[in-house]
């Protein structure tokens, strides 16, 4: 099977590499020549524009781009890829974008006779490298079935979330909760420590009690509680505050369009916004505890 892969950044690069390892034929495109060269070294063929995927008659196009304007630009733009691809090409967009944009691109793709899935991921760059990503997939049953063996080369959990756009809906809902829960854990840890608790003892109690969650157990924001997490290495690595801000922006925008209140999500967005403005956008989002606790 011949796959065209667009967007070879921190996520797309290792994902494309795993497809090559699994035996797929890959043609690749990115605006960065360095990113393309890394994949060529692993066995991919470089193309000089996405529209060359059409000339090569690829069976599948996978995109892993920064945000909705990039996805719309590539697929729907004036000389967009959808107009050039042969009919029935399967398009899998793995970028994290809002559900409304995903449905907009899907509508045009379907009208032009293509098949399209939105398939955002969770698992971060480590999951992309290890091939253990979770894919949240929106689209028809038939297209999901066709895509499964491809996604399985890049991920461990592949979940069909329903119709097109639902993959993005699952992703924004999960990441909004993550952003909120991290602030909750930061607030609770800081309060307990201010009241005299030892941070490790407090985290142990939370993690065996009703406050337990991923933010307390796997990525506790309090420095020194866990080894090998961003909080214990100056909040470097991990999931940047600005990336969390992007996802909270998607959640609040999507909520506005369906008139759904996201009160805590909106407050979380504002807190991370203020934190980013102070110059902390590149720090792991667990660094939000700095608003509550001085080391
Ligand atoms: P990145 O910035 O590292 O990579 C994006 C790549 O897209 C870059 O190499 C860039 O040159 C390329 N690009 C931009 N416009 C292009 C175009 N028009 N044509 C071709 N290539 C183009 O970003 P990333 O961290 O790989 O994230 C990609 C997507 O995955 C985003 O939507 C992000 O929200 C999502 N995501 C990221 C993570 C993470 O931990 N980094 C986790 C889950 C989901």
188-230: per-residue pLDDT in tens?
Answer: 999 999 999 999 999 999 999 999 999 999 999 999 999 999 9
* Residue 126: per-residue pLDDT: 86
Q: Pseudo-torsion of CA 122, 125, 129, 135, nearest 10°?
A: 10
* Residue 78: per-residue pLDDT: 87
The matching CATH number, chosen from 3.40.50.300, 1.10.10.10, 3.30.565.10, 3.40.50.720, for 2-164 is: 3.40.50.720
The verdict on the CB of residue 32 being under 6 Å from ligand 1 is: yes
Q: Contact 130/106 with Cβ under 8 angstroms?
A: no
Annotated active-site residue in 87, 171, 246, 290: 171
In CATH, what is the architecture of 169-291?
Orthogonal Bundle (1.10)
The verdict on the CB of residue 4 being under 6 Å from ligand 1 is: no
Per-residue buried b or exposed e for 134-163, using 16+ beta carbons within 10 Å of the residue's own CB: bbbbbbbeebbebbeebbebbbeebebbbe
* Residue 237: per-residue pLDDT: 87
Mutate to test the pocket of ligand 1, among 65, 92, 175, 284 (most ligand atoms within 8 A of CB): 65
Neighbours of 172 (CB within 10 A): 27
* Residue 168: per-residue pLDDT: 98
* Residue 269: per-residue pLDDT: 98
Place of tokens 């999960």: 174
Residues of the chain scoring pLDDT < 50: none
The verdict on the CB of residue 12 being under 6 Å from ligand 1 is: yes
Q: Which atom of ligand 1 is nearest to the CA of 65?
A: 7
Q: What are the extents of the domains in the chain?
A: 2-164, 169-291
pTM of the full structure? 0.94
């Amino acid at each position: 099977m011949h796959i065209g892969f667009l967007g070879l950044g921190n996520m797309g690069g290792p994902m494309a590499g795993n497809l090559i390892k699994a035996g797929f034929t890959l043609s690749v495109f990115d605006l960065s020549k360095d990113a393309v060269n890394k994949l060529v070294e692993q066995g991919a063929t470089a193309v000089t524009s996405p529209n060359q995927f059409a000339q090569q008659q690829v069976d599948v196009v996978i995109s892993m781009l920064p945000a909705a304007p990039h996805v719309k630009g590539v697929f729907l733009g004036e000389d967009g890829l959808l107009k050039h691809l042969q009919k029935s090409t399967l398009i899998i967009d793995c970028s994290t974008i809002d559900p409304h944009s995903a449905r907009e691109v899907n509508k045009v793709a379907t009208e032009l006779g293509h098949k399209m899935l939105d398939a955002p991921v969770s698992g971060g760059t480590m999951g992309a490298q290890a091939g253990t990503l979770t894919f949240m997939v929106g689209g028809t049953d038939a297209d999901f079935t066709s895509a499964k063996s491809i996604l399985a080369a890049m991920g461990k959990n592949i979940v069909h979330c329903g119709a097109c756009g639902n993959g993005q809906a699952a992703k924004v809902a999960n990441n909004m909760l993550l952003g909120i829960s991290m602030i909750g854990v930061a607030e609770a840890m800081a309060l307990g420590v201010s009241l005299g608790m030892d941070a490790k003892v407090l985290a142990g109690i939370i993690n065996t009690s009703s406050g337990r969650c991923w933010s307390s157990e796997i990525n506790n924001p309090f420095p020194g509680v866990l080894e090998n997490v961003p909080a214990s290495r100056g909040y470097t690595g991990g999931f940047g505050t600005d990336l969390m801000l992007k996802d909270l922006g998607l959640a609040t925008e999507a909520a506005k369009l369906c008139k759904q209140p996201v009160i805590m999500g909106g407050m979380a967005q504002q807190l991370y916004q203020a934190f980013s403005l102070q110059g902390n956008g590149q720090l792991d989002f667990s660094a939000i505890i700095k608003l509550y606790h001085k080391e």
